[in-house]
């Protein structure tokens, strides 16, 4: 096991950030029952640890060489956001990735005598963290949840294509160009919790910081949990505006192509990018 983290102030700041974000997800209604999961690369603040008692590593089911030797804070399988908001350390653990990037052992958990099982969505978290390492992204925190309005739009087969949905959301909410300049990736439905979903999620985040998993949920990457939550909140606000207009009985006009181009130029980008 890694050293005693009770005196590690940076680590407890991360846990506090996780707890606050978990509470927001619960309040938003984006994490029903034990839905949703979070992770953060804590390699820079948690020391490396050897395998406890020489135990064999738990295999990832795939190889992620970018994660070799890294430490990841992840939420536990079955953990509820409302509980994490009150006591974040009780529902989290730190995984020490093996030197070949093929597995992990549990480097830290709040109760050493209690076994720790990471979230069932671990393959997606691993794949995205590997992608972020490959991109040399400053983002190390991932938030996966079920933003209701965005998820509802993913059931519209005529809109769910990446280009169409991204364009529709940008047209609804100018803040999208500011907060989510890379746009939204759209990942076709894949069985949740599988390595296949992880591979799809990792590929989607090669050029994006936010991805919609069709008919499942969404994930965002930020420098901390609060920033990742803000990205989901912004995208879902645009989705909610679109649904409100539709529920009022009309298709919204949205921003014109010219207005979007002007907005994106103001951010140093091109609307075609």
Give the pLDDT confidence score for residue 3 in this predicted structure.
55
Question: What would you measure as the largest C-alpha separation in the chain, in angstroms?
Answer: 64
The tokens 């653990």 sit on which residue?
93
Give the pLDDT confidence score for residue 190 in this predicted structure.
94
Q: What are the domain boundaries of the chain?
A: 9-266
Q: Which of 74, 61, 133 is nearest to 106 (CA)?
A: 74
Give the pLDDT confidence score for residue 239 in this predicted structure.
97
Q: How many residues does the chain have?
A: 273
Beta strands in 150-237 (DSSP E): 185-187, 210-213, 217-222
Give the pLDDT confidence score for residue 270 in this predicted structure.
55
In terms of DSSP bridges, do strands 71-75 and 103-109 run parallel, antiparallel, or are they unpaired? unpaired
Q: Could you name the CATH architecture of 9-266? A: 3-Layer(aba) Sandwich (3.40)
- Give the burial string for 60-75 (b: 16+ CB within 10 Å, else e): bebebebbeebbbbbb
Query: CB of 170 within 8 A of CB of 272?
Result: no
Give the separation between CA 83 and CA 254, rounded to whole angstroms. Answer: 39
pLDDT in tens, the chain (273 residues): 555 687 899 999 999 999 999 999 999 999 999 999 999 999 999 999 877 766 789 999 999 999 999 999 999 999 999 999 999 999 999 999 999 999 999 999 988 888 899 999 999 999 999 999 999 999 999 999 999 999 999 999 888 887 899 999 999 998 988 899 888 999 999 999 999 999 999 999 999 999 999 999 999 999 999 999 999 999 999 999 999 999 999 999 999 989 888 887 887 765 544
Give the pLDDT confidence score for residue 182 in this predicted structure.
87
Give the separation between CA 43 and CA 249, rounded to whole angstroms. Answer: 51
- On the 0-12 / 13-18 / 19+ scale of CB atoms within 10 A, 55 is exposed
121 is catalytic: yes
Give the separation between CA 129 and CA 65, rounded to whole angstroms. Answer: 11
The single-letter DSSP state of residue 53 is G
Q: Which of 202, 154, 209 is nearest to 180 (CA)?
A: 209
Token duo for residue 243: 């649904």
Give the pLDDT confidence score for residue 29 in this predicted structure.
97
Spell out the residues 6+ positions from residue 222 whose beta carbon is closer than 8 angstroms to its own.
Answer: 139, 141, 143, 209, 228, 229, 230, 231
Query: CB of 205 within 8 A of CB of 128?
Result: yes
- The catalytically annotated residue of 121, 162, 227, 251 is 121
């Amino acid at each position: 096991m890694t050293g005693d983290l009770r005196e590690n102030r940076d680590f407890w700041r991360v846990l506090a950030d996780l707890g606050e974000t978990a509470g927001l997800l619960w309040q938003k209604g984006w994490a029903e029952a034990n839905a949703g999961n979070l992770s953060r690369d804590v390699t820079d603040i948690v020391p490396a640890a050897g395998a406890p008692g020489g135990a064999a590593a738990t295999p990832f089911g795939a190889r992620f060489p970018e994660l070799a030797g890294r430490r990841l804070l992840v939420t536990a399988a079955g953990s509820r956001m409302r509980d994490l908001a009150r006591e974040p350390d009780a529902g989290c653990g730190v995984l020490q990735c093996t030197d070949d990037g093929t597995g992990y052992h549990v480097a830290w958990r709040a109760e050493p005598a209690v076994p720790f099982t990471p979230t069932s969505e671990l393959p997606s978290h691993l794949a995205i963290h590997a992608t972020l390492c490959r991109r040399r992204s400053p983002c190390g925190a991932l938030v996966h949840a079920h933003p209701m309005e965005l998820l509802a739009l993913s059931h519209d087969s005529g809109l769910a294509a990446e280009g169409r949905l991204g364009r529709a959301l940008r047209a609804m909410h100018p803040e999208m160009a500011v907060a989510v300049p890379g746009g939204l990736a759209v990942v076709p439905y894949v069985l949740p919790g599988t390595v296949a979903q992880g591979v799809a999620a990792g590929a989607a985040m090669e050029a994006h910081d936010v991805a919609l998993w069709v008919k499942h949920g969404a994930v965002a990457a930020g420098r901390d949990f609060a920033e990742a939550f803000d990205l989901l909140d912004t995208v879902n606000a645009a989705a909610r505006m679109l649904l409100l207009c539709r529920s009022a009985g009309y298709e919204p006009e949205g921003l014109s192509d010219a207005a979007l181009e002007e907005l994106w130029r103001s951010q140093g980008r091109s609307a075609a990018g």
